[in-house]
Amino acid sequence: MAREQLGRALIVEDDPAWRSIIAEALADERVEADFAETLMEAQELMRLHAYRLAVVDLSLGEAYQPNRKGLEVLAAIRRQAPSCPSILLTGYATVEIAVAALREYGALTCLRKETFTRAHFRGLVQEILASAPIGVPSSEARAVPQQLTDEKAEKKPSALVVDDDAGWRALLSDLISEAGFRVQVCAGLGEALSRLRRFHFDVAVVDLSLVEEKGGGAWGEGEEMGGIRLLDHTHARGIPTIVVSGLSSPRLVERLYREERLFVFLEKQTFERAALLSALEEIQSRCSAESPLGELTDRERQILDLLVEGYSNVQIAQKLVISLNTVKRHLKSIFTKLGVHSRASAVALVMKYREKTQP
């Protein structure tokens, strides 16, 4: 007996091998795939079908001349199907392109072909299916594996781990999970920015270098280290950040402490489990001590974070791929739980709490 399909996905990719890889992974999640190789083909398909998600290659049509035509497709998706989450897939993009795809073109995340894994991609698809967009029956969202819904129901603090070394990601993830946190892991800046936009985190554990391969078109080439750039975003969100890095320039560490972008710095060369656990315990106690956010759900915390960043209701709806009415309903609940009556009062309360809990 055939399994019930959970929806359709649009794949905009001119490489048959990659079309096959993506389609097979989507089929495992019960998502049917439609294919396009150009902007016009993608627009025609969007006129014919409603899509749960889209996967778009950055360079289309010219095999030996990398281009950015995929960004035009992302712009078309944002115009024609604003409730359709899109994933940018690329083999050569710079950090600037990745950030632009997330901020300006509304992509959910940016995946590099060099580090692509089916398991990671399927996890992203499961997250997307867990949040039914406008017009999709909620029964479809409930078809997501029970493991994901169980994780959302847990009342544990959440941690973001960002390190481009798979061994360190695994080690840190295990230690932080044992300390009582729900952990999400990322391998680079673009993916981390996407997670920060979509989820609330109580702590971030970051490698400073986030080294990319050198050579033509490598991410981060000639740029400031990705981990340092990421600290700007975690600091702006009031997220205590633990740096675990092989870089140990005294001047750099001193500057980061002085700018209050750093909670604790741990060197990989002399890493001690006890030091990490001690820092996590301190952060955990600060999170629970008279926190005005304690009663908020994960979704409400996401919305409140965006509110603090200055997003309007419409922008919040677009970022989280939910309806405007849903945003208004969550804001009403947030105001009630915080004991405030306006957006400004809610923001002021959060900022006051963050100042009190900063190191």
Domains of the chain in start order, with CATH, are 8-146 (3.40.50.2300), 154-288 (3.40.50.2300), 298-357 (1.10.10.10)
Quick one: which of 46, 100, 49, 94 has its CA closest to 71?
100
Can you state the percent helix, strand and coil of the chain, rounding each to 5? 50, 15, 35
Report whether 36 contacts 11 (CB < 8 A): yes
**Burial status of residue 206 (CB atoms within 10 A of its CB: 0-12, 13-18, 19 or more):** buried
**What integer pLDDT is reported at residue 357 of this predicted model?**
52
Report whether 11 contacts 55 (CB < 8 A): yes
268: DSSP letter: S
**What integer pLDDT is reported at residue 159 of this predicted model?**
92
**What integer pLDDT is reported at residue 140 of this predicted model?**
40
**What integer pLDDT is reported at residue 11 of this predicted model?**
94
**What integer pLDDT is reported at residue 323 of this predicted model?**
87
Long-range pairs of 250-254 with CB within 8 A, sequence gap ≥ 24: 252/208
The residues that bridge with 162 in the sheet, in sequence order, are: 186, 206
**What integer pLDDT is reported at residue 138 of this predicted model?**
39
Please give the structure tokens belonging to residue 132: 């039914």
Please give the structure tokens belonging to residue 52: 């749960």
**What integer pLDDT is reported at residue 268 of this predicted model?**
86
Q: How far apart are CA 260 and CA 226, in angstroms?
A: 18
Number of C-alpha atoms within 13 angstroms, CB side, residue 181?
31
Mean pLDDT of the chain: 79
**What integer pLDDT is reported at residue 219 of this predicted model?**
38
**What integer pLDDT is reported at residue 49 of this predicted model?**
85
Cα angle 206-211-215, degrees, rounded to a multiple of 5: 160
**What integer pLDDT is reported at residue 288 of this predicted model?**
58
**What integer pLDDT is reported at residue 137 of this predicted model?**
41
**What integer pLDDT is reported at residue 322 of this predicted model?**
84
Q: How far apart are CA 29 and CA 3, in angstroms?
A: 10
Residues in the chain, pLDDT under 50: 1, 132-154, 212-223, 290
What is the sign, positive or negative, of the torsion defined by CA atoms of 97, 45, 136, 316? positive
**What integer pLDDT is reported at residue 265 of this predicted model?**
93
**What integer pLDDT is reported at residue 212 of this predicted model?**
46
Report whether 85 contacts 63 (CB < 8 A): no
The H-or-E segment that residue 270 falls in is none
Residues 6+ apart with CB under 8 A from 86: 53, 54, 55, 56, 74, 77, 78, 105, 106, 107, 108
Q: How far apart are CA 340 and CA 201, in angstroms?
A: 23
Q: Is 232 helix (H, G, I), strand (E, B) or coil?
A: helix
The H-or-E segment that residue 24 falls in is helix 16-28
CB atoms within 10 A of CB 30: 16
